[in-house]
């Protein structure tokens, strides 16, 4: 049976210049057997994160053995004014994607609404302006970015929550506010593929 191992490395820039392209050349030396490289991923920051599909096991809903576990979807509501950090409590045993819905209370200019992880890594920004009452959706479950149910562009990444808790900086227009709704399904590793 194949065994997949995750390796990480921090790449440091020599100069403070914008990166235009990156070339990776995986190499293996002094070994025998078969080696597969899967899911090569680059991300900002010096900590391993990212929402990636597990290549070794299937996931199943987490709802056993914990009095606080939720068998369906878990959700949180909130309000953001200017900027804040939203803490998501994920009682599951593994990382899961988050479905965010943001409804501005005032008109917001293009690029003023964003979501991120931790200290600002894995950031997603809605690139179009929004009117009061618009519903902006960033859905990791379906890999969609929507405005009032229709596709809309974004810069950045779909969001996820690590097992335990994760912090998510949320920013809207200066001196403006928006309603937040975040939904996810707590998961754990299932059977081997």
3-class SS shares of the chain: helix, strand, coil, % to 5 = 0, 40, 60
Q: What is the pLDDT along the chain (193 residues), one digit of tens a residue?
A: 456 666 667 777 777 777 777 787 878 888 888 777 766 777 666 655 555 554 454 455 555 555 655 566 788 889 999 999 988 888 777 788 899 999 999 999 999 999 998 888 889 999 999 999 999 999 988 889 999 999 999 998 889 888 888 899 999 989 999 999 999 888 766 554 4
The pTM is what?
0.64
pLDDT of residue 193: 44
Nearest Cα residue to 162 out of 71, 98, 115, 70: 98
Produce one character per residue of 34-73: b if its CB has 16 or more CB atoms within 10 Å, e if not.
Answer: eeeeeeeeeeeeeeebbbeebeeeebebbbeeeeeebeee
**What CATH number is given for 57-192 in this structure?**
2.60.120.860
Q: Which residues 6+ apart lie within 8 Å of 8 measured at CB? A: 48
- Map 7-27 to HEC letters: CCCCCCCCCCCCCCCCCCCCC
pLDDT of residue 92: 78
186 and 92 Cβ atoms separated by less than 8 Å = yes
Measured at the alpha carbon of residue 103, what is the angle toward residues 98 and 105, in degrees to the nearest 5?
Answer: 150
pLDDT of residue 171: 94
Instruction: Work out the burial of residue 119: count CB atoms within 10 Å of its CB; fewer than 13 is exposed, 13-18 middle, 19 or more buried.
Output: exposed
Q: Which residues 6+ apart lie within 8 Å of 45 measured at CB? A: 118, 119, 121, 122
pLDDT of residue 44: 65
CB neighbourhood size of 124 (10 A): 20
* Per-domain boundaries in the chain: 57-192
């Amino acid at each position: 049976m194949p065994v997949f191992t995750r390796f990480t490395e921090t790449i440091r820039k020599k100069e403070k210049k914008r990166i235009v392209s990156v070339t990776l050349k995986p190499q293996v030396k002094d070994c025998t057997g078969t080696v597969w490289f899967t899911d090569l991923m680059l991300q900002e920051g010096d900590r391993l994160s990212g929402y990636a599909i597990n290549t070794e096991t299937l996931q199943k809903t987490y709802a056993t053995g914990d009095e606080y576990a939720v068998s369906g979807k878990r959700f949180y509501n909130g309000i953001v004014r200017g900027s804040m950090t939203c803490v998501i409590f994920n009682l599951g045993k593994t990382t899961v994607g988050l479905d965010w819905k943001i409804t501005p209370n005032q008109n917001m200019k293009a690029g003023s609404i964003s979501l991120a992880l931790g200290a600002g890594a894995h950031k997603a920004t809605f690139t179009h302006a929004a009117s009061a009452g618009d519903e902006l959706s960033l859905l990791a479950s379906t890999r969609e970015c929507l405005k009032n149910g229709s596709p809309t562009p974004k810069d950045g990444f779909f969001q996820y929550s690590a097992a335990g808790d994760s912090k998510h900086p949320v920013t809207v227009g200066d001196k403006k506010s928006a309603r937040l709704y975040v939904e996810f399904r707590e998961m754990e590793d299932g059977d081997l593929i």
